[in-house]
Amino acid sequence: MKEIFFAAFTWIVDRLRTGPWWQRVLLILAAVLLIVVFVAVVSQVNHLGEWFDKIPDVGKGVVVLGLFAFALASTLWALFRWMKDKQLTDENEHLKLKLTAAEAEVKQHDELMERLMNVESRERLWQKECKVPRPQFIPAGQRRARFVTVLNLKGGVGKTTLTANLAAGLGLATKPLKVLLVDVDFQGTLGTATVDPALRQIQEANDHFVHRLLRAEQADDSQLPKLRMGMSGVSSAQVILSADSLDRAEFELQAVYFLDEARDPRFRFVTHFHRDAVVNEYDLVIFDCPPRVTTSVVNALLCSDAILIPTRLDGGSINAVPRTINWVQSFGPLCPASVVGVVATHVAVRQGKLSKADQLSYDTLRAEVQSSYGVDVLFKEVVRSTSDALNPKPGVVASTTAVGRQVFAKFVAEFRKRMSL
């Protein structure tokens, strides 16, 4: 009972200190009224007994009942306030515990993010020696398929456009090749350029994207047929699409590997693509990469025989080429791929010759490539900047038309010769 009245008193004081003005006024009026009543009762206490004796029995009962009801209501109200305050106190303690746990989790997450976002730390992560047995990388001489990674650590150089038109050019050639395109950029641009939008919606509904291969540690023969879609206008080419789900999978796998080197995610693509079902079905598998270091890019690199580096002929793009080559070489024996070539894209060609500005940049690019790689692997053929190289509509690439295919024809022929396809 003492706790109940103390809780009621505490509530009244709290209302007087922090409550709205109308609550304060009511409480003050109630206090004044109680004082007046108390004084009146005390002053009349000598006559109270006589007055009470004169009241009829019914009146006495009403007075007693009223006093009892008032006492009961006051007690119940005080009890209710005490229970409410106790409930709020308990909830507050519970929320404090949850907040403390959440703060600890956020701190742990921030520390991990800081470590993962550190460039030097991330590079050391991908170049580490294997702590577990690697899946079999089938030598090129023992398979039909060749694996190529299209890579440049700078964006906007035409990687996806080149990848899509290379596949179409090879698939629609006089001696067509069977090509599989794998989009490893979570933006999904390659799928938008090569696959009919209606078919892409089907894949979205089933979540049939490349992240499934990245997450799966073991090869599954039933997985690949679900993921690949036909390339619009090229019957001998197929595409594995990408979406935002890839970004989440990449970060999770990178974080897990950072904490536990025994869970190495760098060879998932080797596990899924270096199998008879793939290497004996396709002539060429092309990985279209984003302009950044990701778990998928590392997987593509360690799964490939060759690396193709597209670049524009501006200063920033040219400078990115040796940086890309140096990063590839930093893997050492882990990476079986070599640079098949560097190809200039979006080149200004007038009357069969490069413009003076682009010719100067092209010569600079040649010197940069030879200096960083030790061998001149610059493609002789370039990809012209022309409207004929643009996609005619969503899901269809330029090389599905005769005019568009002509823009990329010489490059495709030189690529095919270099890869011995």
C-alpha 111/C-alpha 120 separation (Å) is: 16
- Distance spanning both ends of the chain, measured CA to CA: 93
pLDDT at residue 95, as a whole number: 80
Q: What is the DSSP string of 175-233?
A: S---EEEEE--TT-HHHHHHS-HHHHHHHHHHT-STHHHHH-SS--TTHHHHHEEEETT
C-alpha 227/C-alpha 332 separation (Å) is: 32
The DSSP 8-state label assigned to residue 290 in this structure reads -
C-alpha 330/C-alpha 376 separation (Å) is: 19
* SS3 category, 277: helix
C-alpha 167/C-alpha 411 separation (Å) is: 12
pLDDT at residue 183, as a whole number: 97
Cα-based angle 121, 125, 131 (whole degrees, multiple of 5): 145
- In the chain, the domains with their CATH numbers are 2-117 (no CATH), 140-418 (3.40.50.300)
H or E stretch at 334: none
* Beta-carbon count within 10 A of 309 CB: 28
The backbone torsions φ and ψ at residue 88, rounded to the nearest 5 degrees and listed phi first, read: -65, -40
Beta-bridge partner residues of 356: none
* SS3 category, 380: coil
For residue range 132-188, list pLDDT tens digits in order.
Answer: 899 999 999 999 999 999 999 999 999 999 999 999 999 999 999 999 999 999 999
C-alpha 298/C-alpha 267 separation (Å) is: 8
Beta-bridge partner residues of 147: 285
Q: How many angstroms separate the Cα of 250 from the Cα of each of 35, 121, 256, 292, 303? A: 74, 16, 10, 12, 16
Sign of the alpha-carbon dihedral angle for 290, 294, 295, 300: positive
C-alpha 277/C-alpha 106 separation (Å) is: 44
Q: Cβ distance 183 to 241 under 8 Å?
A: yes
C-alpha 239/C-alpha 230 separation (Å) is: 6
pLDDT at residue 372, as a whole number: 85
pLDDT at residue 119, as a whole number: 47
Cα-based angle 194, 307, 153 (whole degrees, multiple of 5): 80
C-alpha 200/C-alpha 274 separation (Å) is: 26
Mind listing the pLDDT tens digit of every residue in the chain (421 residues)? Answer: 555 556 566 666 666 566 666 666 666 666 666 665 555 555 555 555 555 566 666 665 665 566 556 656 666 665 566 677 667 777 778 888 888 787 777 676 666 656 555 544 555 789 888 888 999 999 999 999 999 999 999 999 999 999 999 999 999 999 999 999 999 999 999 999 999 999 999 999 999 999 999 999 888 888 889 999 999 999 999 999 999 999 999 999 998 888 888 899 999 999 999 999 899 999 999 999 999 999 999 999 999 999 999 999 999 999 999 999 999 999 999 999 999 999 999 999 888 889 999 999 999 999 999 988 888 899 999 999 888 888 888 899 999 999 999 999 999 999 999 999 9
pLDDT at residue 392, as a whole number: 84
C-alpha 248/C-alpha 186 separation (Å) is: 9
Q: Cβ distance 210 to 240 under 8 Å?
A: yes
The backbone torsions φ and ψ at residue 154, rounded to the nearest 5 degrees and listed phi first, read: -115, 140
For residue range 327-365, list pLDDT tens digits in order.
Answer: 999 999 999 999 999 999 999 988 888 999 999 999 999
pLDDT at residue 219, as a whole number: 85
C-alpha 160/C-alpha 182 separation (Å) is: 11
Closest CA to 295 of 251, 245, 328: 251
* SS3 category, 162: helix
**Distance between alpha carbon 387 and the CA centroid of its chain, in Å?**
33
C-alpha 76/C-alpha 220 separation (Å) is: 68
Closest CA to 191 of 248, 250, 154, 231: 231
Q: What is the pTM of this model?
A: 0.72
C-alpha 202/C-alpha 215 separation (Å) is: 21
C-alpha 268/C-alpha 143 separation (Å) is: 19
